[in-house]
Amino acid sequence: MERKKYPRILFRKRLKELKEDVNEIGQIAIQAHKDAIKAFNDYDKDLLDGVIKSRDKIEELSFHLERKCISIIASEQPVAMDLRFIEACIKVGSHLKRIGSLSVNIAEAAKNLKGEEIPARSMEDLNHMANLVQMMLSKGLYSFIDQNMDMARELRHDDDKVDDLFDQSLENVTSSMFQNKDSISYMIYLLFIARFLERIADRAVSLGDRTIFMITCEKPKRLELKK
């Protein structure tokens, strides 16, 4: 009887390793976003290079994660919750990979703002937005790792706040452009950064949605999540 248990124990061990891999990729993505925002506030080429390296590492680890998932599906033929978890790992890895790329976009846009005079209100809006997005990234990752439905549901509400800040930032930046047309050539990068942050927030929501689907096997409904 004992020997029959071993394959199941090995299977559980492989699932645990998948979760650890996702967490490792997620931590790198979170740090990449932090470093990109540091580059925005005080540009440094080393920060940009570091974000690029993080992006490359995320892509490498995501590739190996997907191969592991496919191998487990082929060899173990999992069903129900286990299958949804493995499939979710692939999807989450894909979202984290995109978050890494968007973080590089932010750091590269920051390079074009070096030495320029940025309105205090725009800096305040974008940093507020970045802090919210940072919180959403952590919440999205840990909702998946801990299979926390309540945390996953909160992400839609958080995303509404980010959308409001995006609209506010768009209004303030375009207003500054009209007041000083010479600033348009570099102020446009503030709009790019706001857009990149908004897209990262969307990816964080996708992490939460994937968690909810993994647990319930039901697609999250926007109205229910808002409640």
**Is pLDDT at 2 greater than 50 in this prediction?**
no
91 — pLDDT class (breaks 50, 70, 90): very high
Average pLDDT over residues 69-92: 92
Helix boundaries (H) for 42-79: 45-76
226 — pLDDT class (breaks 50, 70, 90): very low
Please give the Cα distance from 89 to 180 (Å, whole number).
Answer: 48
Domains of the chain: 7-214 (1.20.58.220)
Percent of the chain with pLDDT over 70: 95
Percent of the chain with pLDDT over 90: 76
Q: What pLDDT is stored for residue 74 in this prediction?
A: 92
What are the CA-CA distances from residue 121 to residues 37, 136, 168, 223 (Å)? 16, 23, 10, 33
DSSP 218: S
Tokens of 141: 């990752």
**Is pLDDT at 168 greater than 50 in this prediction?**
yes
For 186, other C-beta atoms within 10 Å of its C-beta total 16
Residue with token string 């248990």: 5
Please give the Cα distance from 162 to 203 (Å, whole number).
Answer: 12
Q: Could you tell me if 169 and 104 are in contact, meaning their C-beta atoms sit under 8 angstroms apart? A: no
Q: Could you tell me if 68 and 21 are in contact, meaning their C-beta atoms sit under 8 angstroms apart? A: yes
Q: What pLDDT is stored for residue 41 in this prediction?
A: 94
Q: What pLDDT is stored for residue 215 in this prediction?
A: 93
Q: What pLDDT is stored for residue 227 in this prediction?
A: 43
Across the chain, what does the average pLDDT equal?
Answer: 91
Q: Which residue type, as a one-letter code, is found at position 72?
A: I
Please give the Cα distance from 72 to 61 (Å, whole number).
Answer: 16
Q: Could you tell me if 69 and 89 are in contact, meaning their C-beta atoms sit under 8 angstroms apart? A: yes
Q: What pLDDT is stored for residue 219 in this prediction?
A: 78
Q: Alpha-carbon dihedral of residues 84, 89, 91, 93, nearest 10 degrees?
A: 180
DSSP 183: G
What is the model's pTM?
0.90
29 — pLDDT class (breaks 50, 70, 90): very high
Q: What pLDDT is stored for residue 4 in this prediction?
A: 52
